[in-house]
Structure 1
Amino acid sequence: MFFDNRELLSRSSTFKLLLYFLACIGVIYTVFVHQVYLSSDAFHRKQLDRELSQETEVFAALATQGKIDATRTLIAEKQSISSPFTYHIQPVSTQMASLSYPAALTGNQPYFELSELKSGSSLLLDDHTVLRIEINQDLLQQYRDDLAPMMISGVALPVIVMIAGAVWFAVNIIQKLQRVNFAMNRVLCGEKSVKLAVSRNDDEFDLLSIHLNFMIEQIEKKESSLKALTVGIAHDLRTPMSRMKLRIESLLDDANNPQIKEELEACHDDLELLLGMFNGMLEIANLNSGKQLVSKQPVDLAAVAQDAVDFLRPLAEEKLQQLTIRQDTPYQLDGEPNLLFRATINLIENAIKYTPEKGIITVVIDPFGVVVIDNGEGISDLDKSRVCEPMYRGDKSRTQAGYGLGLSLVDAVMKRHGGEVIFRDNTPGLRARLYFS
């Protein structure tokens, strides 16, 4: 699960925010643990200093009573056990004598001086020897060595747990958002009846899913109503326009006035254009909705493309264009020959329309279907995703004849045959492919 979401995790603002928060907590916690370490070490050192003072007082009492032999015996006993101190009996140096004694010593009076040094104490035993008691540095260092791993683990383990928790939390959030994004992508791709799962947790993601489900349902209802309205209008208008066309044709037969006849011919052409548009809209709607039955049979795609090229060759010759066909490999499929012919002819006609005079148009049959290659104007990246929409015109100026249904019909035919229309740049020109999966 984690490795599948690494890229999403690295892009997640939630995960980054958690990491920033954990970094601040980690710095504060590290400073706190470091202070605990220093305080613990200082407390341990104070304890040793207190014990050192008590230890020195014991030996000072023995030295005061003049029990030098008992002092040496006690030192031997303490050296034989694990003591936090080290004991050294050294001769009295001149400097020590000047620091610890008056100018003259008399009789059997046992004078001693306790000299507190940085890491121990010095105790005068007699006129010639001094006892130095020091804190065992190895033991002190061992305590620090034992304390340091505990402090490090005290920092590392919580940080690891917090990072793991942040990863789990971020991945959990990302997975829920991914389910929402995946469902919305399905909606954008045209899939119907998409529903987001709603759990029993009744949390904010469930509320989001409920709202999105309601929105998708309303969009589908509006889309269905709009399509039904469009098809209904096209169907209802087609009948009276067909009647008008017949009446105009009858008037043309009886018209003797050239001016009236010219006007009637213009009306006839406009009605012919409108009828063609409405018929095209109805056919595309029926293909997309599945109302138009498609009787499939074995089809040689090369033969269909050849018929389309032969049909459109005179149109290309009018523009002095070179229209050729090439078959790289045979391609057989189960399809409706008439629909495939119309899809191919629309694609080639579109290439002829937008290729300048003396241009080159090549139709190729390869292992993936049919591709029409031209060196014309091409299609912008923005228009590539929309040229198959009904009534959409890549030619914003509307200088080219047509009403934006040719490629929509091609797209509808390809969907009914389990394929798709793919547009790629030819630099210059366009490569329009009928891809059969």
Structure 2
Amino acid sequence: MRARRGPWRSLTVRLGLVYVALFLTSTAAMFGAAYWFGVHQPMVKEASAVQREAGSLAAVDRAGGRDALLRALRLREKSGPRRAFHALLLSDGRVLTANLPSWPRATIADWQLLDADISFLGTEQDYTALSVERRLDDGARLIVGRDVEDIDDRDEIFSVAAAWLILIAAALAIGGSVAMGRAVGRRIDAVTQTARRVMAGSLTERIPLRGTGDDFDELAGTLNQMLGRIEEAVDAVRRVSDNVAHELRTPLARLHADLDDLRMTADESERQRLADQALAEAGRLQSIFDALLRIARIESGRHHAGFRRVDLSTLLADAVEFHLPDAEARGQRIESRIAPGLMLEADPDLLFQAISNLLDNAVKYGSDAGAVTVSAARMATGVVVEISDAGPGIPPAYREKVTERFFRLPDTAGEPGSGLGLSLVSAIVALHRGRLRIDDAAPGTRVRLELP
């Protein structure tokens, strides 16, 4: 039973909120940039220009008097790219000249937007005057301005658009977040549901792929490969369990029968024979368990490997010499094609065990009076060792299974051995980060070891 969790612990909810926040932030940033360049900067530029004009007009008043100022104001009204406005008020409040319809009673500190609508032939023309004020030497107020109606209209448009933009952006962000959350959630749920079915025991389950080649498909493909390896490993464990039970049943039954007969017989020679048979069966069981334990320790990394610089050429020659008597007993010959001075980092004991197992198989399953060939050479990627025989060979369908514990070819079930030799070889090669290949020697079997 799954524990209930709050919405804030959901990855899709958190991703959705991040998406909404980023979408709204980016929209606000773009809107702010548009407002800055479309309204604020032009308004500041016009304010600076009007400030300079006001300063110039105040200088005209100081230099040429009031009449010169009046002439400059009339001339200014008729020139410039924008309509010019002004108001000249004496210190007692009387209006000396003005084309502004109104102005504030208080002094304009910096700049201010004033309504400057003008009626012309019964039609009202809208103007907005960006106005600044200067105090003249005699206390008169000089207010000058320029029409910025177009910029003010843009400001109003931005103000209205901002409200709509926020609503539309929020709707799009939330909609996109929900769609993204559902898409991601479906992919995650597919992984979760598949994992639960696998946990329930259905190892054949796989995560469905969309065929889009995106990150989720790549993840699903990787997980499917992992599930396939797990299924293969579990199947291998089951086969090993079955094989262990099968392999141990016969020696245990014989051991039990020998001990039971030993208890019942009174003949001393018969008792000795039965005791020897029981010890032989116990020894065979002990060797099976030792081999299984050694393979398990190597594969799990618990074996303390004594890696050091090893002369592989000498090691191969020693292995050939060790198996030469068995080969000669069957009329076989061992042909060595070993390059001298092959050095590599390895555990010599484990490596000798692997080579010895392969030679033992080659002699045991090779044809009588045939040849066993041992070759070794240095390649670009390391050292390659090949051991081949002239026997019946291993059918292609069984070449990937012969390294499993207790696996025996159907036609070799009666041969001596426990079926653990190639399993041990495979574990030793993997420990040395090498590669084991079993091919057809036409006739016979060729085993190839690639050691880095």
**TM interval, short-chain normalised:** 0.3 to 0.5
TM-score (normalizing by structure 2) = 0.43
